[in-house]
């Protein structure tokens, strides 16, 4: 994590005037930090050929209205050229650690919360946390839905692939040519469920296969058999294959990054330890990475980052109780914040920090304490008050000696 930014970071606005997202109506904004990044639809070509990219069509049920939140702030921020970027792509800030934005959209009649989340690259749990009072299966026509699309970059080297299992999110830092601005891509994930945790560590991609067959290991076949289900020794490529259309083998034996035939599980702990991606996302990533690409898997439920001189925190629920108690979590957060502001005259809002840690909502929150109010000026003394002071200072007349 870098120190506080002293200058605003020039960021690109990724929704061009021709984008289906460009004319969406602003429905509201959150208290989270505003970033002038926009959102584009998933483009079919990788970043190496940005000039040829075109937007994929929107789902009919998701052609809803939205606009950048905090429009005044966005217009005031310095921007680079208005270039089209795919959904989930962001320019790396030159100073700071925060990308994206939080905004709201309006649900249409046939929408589900899962569909809306996938439209904007957000997984199941993140959408439920951001919309606790909205029905998952029937939000209702006209319902305002929050898109928690703002992220603090993980505290890890910005190279290759970084997977944060606590966040259920993948970050990919593609290499850039000399003189080109760097990009980060981020995608929602499904990760290992309890007792089948996704392993942590640093590894590489060792193999890439399109339209893979699935050879379920004996442990998974026995698990299905115990539930009265029969799994074949080989599941061929096709719509019934849980690996989807792409798989990337990791250097950790038995573990993969792959697609899925059940996209509703992305954003949940549903796998046997592998990392699941939405079908369109895994195909986009597959086309960009090569064998040998580094993959760093972390479990970071508490992230700190700077943007425009403000410290932000982003917290997620622990995956299980083994990671510690709430008191331990708060104590560790205090230590990390104090280390981040060491040597700085930075007013931390510790009450807000504790609230974010105790009830993690998964969205960045500013930790800057509000300025102390100026003391009220003392009222000017009244004429009669001044007269009394003069009399008091003069004192009683001295007795005469004559």
Domains of the chain are 191-298 (2.40.440.10)
Q: How distant, in Å, are the alpha carbons of 41, 116, 148 from that of 145?
A: 18, 8, 10
Categorise residue 100: left if φ over 0, alpha if ψ from -120 to 50, beta otherwise. left
DSSP state letter for 44: S
The encoded tokens of residue 164 equal 């944060």
SS3 assignment, position 259: coil
C-alpha to C-alpha distance for 112 and 265, rounded to whole angstroms: 14
The encoded tokens of residue 115 equal 């569909």
φ and ψ at residue 33, rounded to 5 degrees: -60, 140
Q: What is the mean pLDDT of the chain?
A: 78
Q: Among 274, 255, 278, which Cα is nearest to 265's?
A: 278
C-alpha to C-alpha distance for 297 and 170, rounded to whole angstroms: 9
DSSP state letter for 69: S
User: How large is the average pLDDT for residues 299-318?
Assistant: 94
Please name the helix (run of DSSP H) or strand (run of DSSP E) that holds residue 129, with its range, or none.
helix 124-130
Taking the chain, what is the end-to-end CA distance rounded to the nearest angstrom?
Answer: 88
Q: Is the pLDDT of residue 137 over 70?
A: yes
| Tokens 């539930």 belong to residue | 227
Output the pLDDT for position 43.
Answer: 32
Output the pLDDT for position 193.
Answer: 66
Output the pLDDT for position 235.
Answer: 82
Alpha helices in 262-382 (DSSP H): 279-286, 326-340, 350-358
Q: Residues 72-96: pLDDT tens digits?
A: 333 333 333 335 788 899 999 988 9
Q: Could you say which of 29, 37, 118, 258 is catalytic?
A: 258
Do the beta carbons of residue 34 and residue 105 sit within 8 Å? no
- Within a 13 Å sphere around the CA of 304, how many CA atoms are in the beta-carbon half? 22
Output the pLDDT for position 385.
Answer: 56
C-alpha to C-alpha distance for 368 and 33, rounded to whole angstroms: 12
C-alpha to C-alpha distance for 329 and 229, rounded to whole angstroms: 41
User: How large is the average pLDDT for residues 173-181?
Assistant: 89
- Is 26 labeled as catalytic in the residue annotation? no
Do the beta carbons of residue 313 and residue 330 sit within 8 Å? no
Looking at beta carbons, which pairs linking 324-331 to residues 24 or more positions away fall under 8 Å? 326/357, 326/358, 329/301, 329/302, 329/357, 329/358, 330/354, 330/357, 330/358
| Tokens 């249409």 belong to residue | 108
Output the pLDDT for position 80.
Answer: 38
Residue 227: which pLDDT band, with cuts at 50, 70 and 90?
Answer: confident
Using CB atoms within 10 Å of the CB of residue 330, give its burial: 0 to 12 exposed, 13 to 18 middle, 19+ buried. Answer: middle
Do the beta carbons of residue 214 and residue 234 sit within 8 Å? yes
Q: Among 92, 217, 221, which Cα is nearest to 151's?
A: 92
Please name the helix (run of DSSP H) or strand (run of DSSP E) that holds residue 164, with its range, or none.
strand 160-164
Q: Among 85, 114, 89, which Cα is nearest to 22's?
A: 85
Strand residue runs (E) in 63-143: 89-91, 98-106
Q: Could you say which of 29, 37, 272, 274 is catalytic?
A: 274
User: How large is the average pLDDT for residues 13-31?
Assistant: 40
Output the pLDDT for position 387.
Answer: 54
- Is 272 labeled as catalytic in the residue annotation? no
Length of the chain: 402
C-alpha to C-alpha distance for 324 and 357, rounded to whole angstroms: 13
Q: Which is more confidently placed, 193 or 42? A: 193
User: How large is the average pLDDT for residues 386-396?
Assistant: 56
Q: Residues 229-252: pLDDT tens digits?
A: 777 778 888 898 999 999 999 999
- Within a 13 Å sphere around the CA of 317, how many CA atoms are in the beta-carbon half? 11
Q: How many CB atoms lie within 10 A of CB 169?
A: 23
Q: Among 297, 337, 293, which Cα is nearest to 314's?
A: 337
């Amino acid at each position: 994590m870098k120190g506080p930014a002293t200058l605003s970071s020039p960021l690109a606005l990724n929704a061009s005037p021709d984008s289906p997202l460009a004319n969406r109506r602003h429905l509201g904004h959150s208290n989270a930090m505003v970033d002038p990044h926009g959102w584009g639809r998933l483009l079919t070509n990788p970043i190496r050929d940005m000039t040829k990219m075109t937007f994929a069509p929107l789902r009919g049920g998701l052609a809803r209205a939205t606009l950048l939140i905090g429009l005044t702030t966005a217009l005031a921020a310095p921007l680079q050229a208005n270039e089209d970027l795919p959904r989930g792509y962001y320019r790396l800030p030159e100073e700071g650690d925060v990308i994206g934005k939080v905004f709201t959209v309006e649900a249409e009649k046939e929408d589900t919360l899962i569909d809306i989340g996938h439209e904007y690259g957000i997984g199941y749990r993140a959408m439920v946390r951001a919309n606790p009072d909205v029905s998952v299966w029937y939000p209702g026509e006209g319902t305002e839905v929050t898109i928690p699309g703002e992220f603090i970059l993980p505290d890890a080297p910005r190279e290759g692939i970084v997977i944060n299992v606590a966040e259920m999110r993948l970050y990919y830092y593609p290499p850039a040519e000399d003189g080109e601005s760097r990009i980060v891509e981020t995608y929602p994930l499904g990760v290992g469920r309890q007792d089948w945790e996704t392993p942590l560590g640093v590894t590489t991609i060792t193999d890439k296969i399109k339209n893979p067959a699935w050879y379920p290991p004996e442990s998974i076949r026995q698990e299905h058999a115990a539930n009265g289900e029969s799994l074949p020794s080989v599941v061929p490529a096709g719509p019934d294959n849980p690996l989807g259309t792409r798989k990337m083998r990791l250097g950790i034996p038995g573990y993969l990054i792959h697609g899925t035939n059940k996209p509703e599980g992305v954003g949940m702990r549903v796998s046997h330890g592998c990392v699941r991606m939405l079908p369109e996302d895994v195909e986009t990533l597959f086309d960009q990475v090569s064998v040998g690409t580094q993959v760093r898997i972390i479990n970071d439920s508490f992230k700190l980052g700077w943007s425009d001189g403000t410290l932000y925190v982003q917290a997620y629920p622990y995956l299980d109780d083994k990671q510690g108690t709430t008191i331990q979590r708060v104590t560790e957060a205090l230590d990390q914040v104090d280390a981040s502001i060491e040597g700085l005259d930075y007013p931390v809002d510790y009450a807000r920090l504790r609230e974010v840690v105790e009830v993690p909502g998964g969205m960045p929150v500013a930790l800057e304490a509000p300025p102390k109010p100026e003391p009220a000026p003392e009222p000017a003394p009244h004429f009669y008050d001044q007269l009394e002071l003069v009399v008091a200072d003069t004192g009683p007349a001295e007795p005469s000696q004559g």
